[in-house]
A and B are shown apart, each in its own frame.
Chain A
Amino acid sequence: DIQLTQSPSSLSASVGDRVTITCRASLGIGSHLNWYKQEPGKAPKLLIYAASSLQSGVPSRFSGSGSGTDFTLTIHSLQPEDFATYYCQQSYNILWTFGQGTKLNI
């Protein structure tokens, strides 16, 4: 299986900050990397697909980059509703996997 390692596991930030979350794959996955946001008690929500494409309706302060094994999710100018847990996910091969999650705290 392809392992995805996110860092950091948790992150404290303030409204208006810029934060970056990284996701490293155990082998090259091209651009087959997606990012999701999950709020407590809710289903995940797609933010970024194919490493850098913004899902429709997602604010432009979210951006993604990377290819191969190293990927980043950046949130420019944090808003109160951005404090949640973020997951990366690979769909390179059929045994899809998620990163362990990054909890973004105030």
Chain B
Amino acid sequence: EVSLVESGGGLIQPGGSLTLACAASGSTVSSNTLSWVRQAPGKGLEWVSIIYSGGRTYYADSVRGRFTISRDGTKNMVYLHMSSLRGEDTSVYYCATVWGTLVRGETVEVFDNWGQGTLVTVSS
């Protein structure tokens, strides 16, 4: 089973930048699809970004243009570079693997393994 460990969270001022890291063990990031999901304090889950095994990347509307997802196969790490941070970006950020399974002729994708999360607080 894949194990994911996030790091890099902390307190950052509005307008600042921060890079989160997700270390994967038990699988290679280059051959898997990984995603970031966040959760503001006391709130629900919000999908943030995804990087497919083939390299395609996608972003939620709320972060597109400010956040960049990337990976380093040599270190088996996935990153989320966040810039122009706002108070509403304050959240626990989770890294998750994405598994696609064929169901009745269609591929259904799910978050199947999650890290423990890292807290990002945007405040002056």
Contact = CB atoms under 8 A, between A and B. Distances in A.
Interface residues of A, number: 27
A99 B44 contact: yes
B114 A43 contact: yes
B46 A98 contact: yes
Contacts of A43: 94, 114-117
Nearest to B92: A43
Nearest to A42: B116
Contacts of A53: 101, 103
A100 B44 contact: yes
Interface in A48-101: 49-50, 53, 55, 87, 89, 91, 94-101
A85 B61 CA distance: 25
Interface residues of B, number: 23
Interface in B67-124: 94, 101, 103-104, 106, 108-112, 114-117
Chief secondary structure at chain B's binding surface: strand
A104 interface: no
Contacts of B46: 98
A94 B64 CA distance: 13
Contacts, number: 68
A34 interface: yes
A45 B119 CA distance: 19
Nearest to B98: A91
A36 B111 contact: yes
Chief secondary structure at chain A's binding surface: loop
Nearest to A67: B104
Contact of A91 (B108, B115, B117): B108
Interface in A8-41: 30-32, 34, 36, 38
Contacts of B116: 42-43
B90 to A, nearest CB: 17
A92 B77 CA distance: 27
Interface of B: 37, 44-47, 50, 58, 60-61, 94, 101, 103-104, 106, 108-112, 114-117
10 contacts: A31-B104, A31-B106, A32-B108, A87-B44, A91-B108, A91-B109, A96-B47, A97-B47, A98-B44, A98-B46
